[in-house]
Chains A and B, each alone.
Chain A
Amino acid sequence: MAPVAPRSGDAIFANIERVNAELFTLTYGAIVRQLLTDLEEVEEVNKQLEQMGYNIGIRLIDEFLAKSNVSRCVDFRETADVIAKVGFKMFLGVTASVSNWDAEGTCCSIILEDNPLVDFVELPDTCQGLYYCNILSGVIRGALEMVSMKTEVTWIRDVLRGDDVFELQVKLLKQVPEEYPYKDDE
């Protein structure tokens, strides 16, 4: 069978089932509120959000690969492009852009102008250290780990803290070669 050409983010988004973004936003708000009540420490909440994102990411990558038909990315640049153009569009309905590549091509910034997670949200003074969208950094880290890339994802700019856009820095730590799950001699 001839390989199917990768579909653009818009085309995929038009073909999958969608729900109202407000339900999504409000549910995410309820989750963050629950975490803040339970854990109280803002750092703990950040960690928990990242962990939840990680759990989502490791499953999300399967659906992403199945629906988007992208071929194996040649290098990290292509990976970042695919995440920003296809991945974000497919799941959140927004397009991100990639910039700030470093010299080796292992570190870049993904910039989000529009973010459905933060509609209606304002950070109170007691939660100034909170990375409200930290679930996104976990999702990216989890998804990339499942395709053999160990990364570190951090927030550079955050609209809720007064910046103008959301900026995520994705840094490739290392490529983990795929390991065959069974030992040959067993």
Chain B
Amino acid sequence: MIGVGKMKQYTNVLDKPLTKGKQEVSLSAFAFLFSELVQYNQTQVDNIGELERRLEDAGYAVGARVLELLCHRDKGNRRETRLLGILSFVHSTVWKVLFGKVADSLEKGTEHEDEYMISEKELLVNRFISIPKDMGTFNCGAFVAGIVRGVLDGAGFPAVVTAHFVPVDGQQRPRTTILIKFAEEVLHREARLG
């Protein structure tokens, strides 16, 4: 065989230089991959709650890694410690890196002190997905909810994160809202920090 010029071999993956994050793949490659993820999980569960939980767990793993990667690469090893800081980190930086744009809106819940909502007109992961009627309120955005939960948990803000469809007048497809409910300790800490 003709001798191929060897690329510099890194024995340890941690020694490899970090990519700049500018590489792209086609949307359809991601959509195919995501659809296989959902289809595989459908074979492993009996009900919708389980399916959502599994998608969320998959997203959690992504979120934890995205936090580390972005803090190291884009934020110079600094991590947000305040509630509004981490929320705007998720809403702008994380969304921009993963989905190419900042999230549509970030709102504070009116009924409860510990609830915040990130809304998106059409989640990237849901773009090519249609939910059959018998699956009721199932939302593949559970994957994105998992990503958000992974980021928040890794940053020290434990929360329960869920994805919901919110029908909008005049629009055929409903808007998706990621509902973030922070744990008690986060609010206590935030109050203490003033």
A residues adjacent to B (C-beta < 8 A): 13, 16-24, 26-31, 33-35, 38, 48, 52, 55-56, 59-60, 63, 90-93, 100, 113, 116, 119-122, 135, 164-165
In the complex, the answer to whether A56 meets B36 with C-beta atoms within 8 Å is: yes
Could you list 6 further interchain pairs (A-B, Cβ under 8 angstroms) beyond the known A17-B27, A27-B62? A16-B26, A19-B124, A31-B37, A34-B58, A48-B40, A91-B25
In the complex, the answer to whether B1 meets A100 with C-beta atoms within 8 Å is: yes
Known interface pairs A30-B37, A34-B54, A93-B24; A19-B61 also in contact (CB < 8 Å): no
Q: How far is the CA of A165 from the CA of B9 in the complex (A)?
A: 10
User: Which residues in B have their C-beta under 8 angstroms from that of A56?
Assistant: 32-33, 35-36
How many A-B pairs have beta carbons closer than 8 Å: the answer is 120
In the complex, the answer to whether A164 meets B24 with C-beta atoms within 8 Å is: no
Closest CB of chain A to B64's CB: distance in Å? 10
User: Which residues in A have their C-beta under 8 angstroms from that of B35?
Assistant: 56
Q: How far is the CA of A55 from the CA of B37 in the complex (A)?
A: 11
Chain B's closest residue to A16 (CB) is B26
In the complex, the answer to whether B9 meets A164 with C-beta atoms within 8 Å is: yes
Q: List 6 A-B contacts (CB under 8 A).
A: A20-B24, A26-B65, A31-B33, A34-B41, A91-B26, A122-B13
In the complex, the answer to whether B98 meets A20 with C-beta atoms within 8 Å is: yes
In the complex, the answer to whether B40 meets A52 with C-beta atoms within 8 Å is: yes
In the complex, the answer to whether A16 meets B27 with C-beta atoms within 8 Å is: yes
Closest CB of chain B to A54's CB: distance in Å? 10
B residues adjacent to A (C-beta < 8 A): 1, 4, 6-7, 9, 12-13, 19, 21, 23-30, 32-37, 39-41, 44, 54, 57-59, 61-62, 65-66, 69, 97-100, 124
Q: How far is the CA of A123 from the CA of B44 in the complex (A)?
A: 25
Q: How far is the CA of A175 from the CA of B15 in the complex (A)?
A: 46
**Contact partner, A31, options B9, B58, B100, Cβ 8 Å:** B58
In the complex, the answer to whether A21 meets B27 with C-beta atoms within 8 Å is: no
In the complex, the answer to whether A30 meets B61 with C-beta atoms within 8 Å is: yes
In the complex, the answer to whether B27 meets A18 with C-beta atoms within 8 Å is: yes
In the complex, the answer to whether B28 meets A63 with C-beta atoms within 8 Å is: yes
Closest CB of chain A to B55's CB: distance in Å? 10
**Contact partner, B99, options A19, A26, A113, A165, Cβ 8 Å:** A19
In the complex, the answer to whether A16 meets B28 with C-beta atoms within 8 Å is: yes
**Contact partner, B37, options A23, A27, A113, Cβ 8 Å:** A27
Closest CB of chain A to B32's CB: distance in Å? 4
In the complex, the answer to whether A23 meets B58 with C-beta atoms within 8 Å is: no
Known interface pairs A52-B36, A92-B29; A113-B97 also in contact (CB < 8 Å): no
In the complex, the answer to whether B7 meets A113 with C-beta atoms within 8 Å is: yes
User: Which residues in B have their C-beta under 8 angstroms from that of A90?
Assistant: 26
Q: How far is the CA of A165 from the CA of B6 in the complex (A)?
A: 9
Closest CB of chain A to B87's CB: distance in Å? 20
Q: How far is the CA of A175 from the CA of B189 in the complex (A)?
A: 67
Closest CB of chain B to A33's CB: distance in Å? 6
**Contact partner, A18, options B9, B21, B24, B65, Cβ 8 Å:** B24
In the complex, the answer to whether B26 meets A30 with C-beta atoms within 8 Å is: no
From B33, B35, B58, B61, name the one whose CB has the most chain A CB atoms within 10 angstroms.
B33
User: Which residues in B have their C-beta under 8 angstroms from that of A23?
Assistant: 30, 62, 98-99
Q: How far is the CA of A93 from the CA of B28 in the complex (A)?
A: 12
Known interface pairs A26-B65, A27-B62, A164-B4; A20-B28 also in contact (CB < 8 Å): no
User: Which residues in B have their C-beta under 8 angstroms from that of A30?
Assistant: 37, 58-59, 61-62
In the complex, the answer to whether B62 meets A26 with C-beta atoms within 8 Å is: yes
Q: How far is the CA of A22 from the CA of B61 in the complex (A)?
A: 13
In the complex, the answer to whether B27 meets A19 with C-beta atoms within 8 Å is: yes
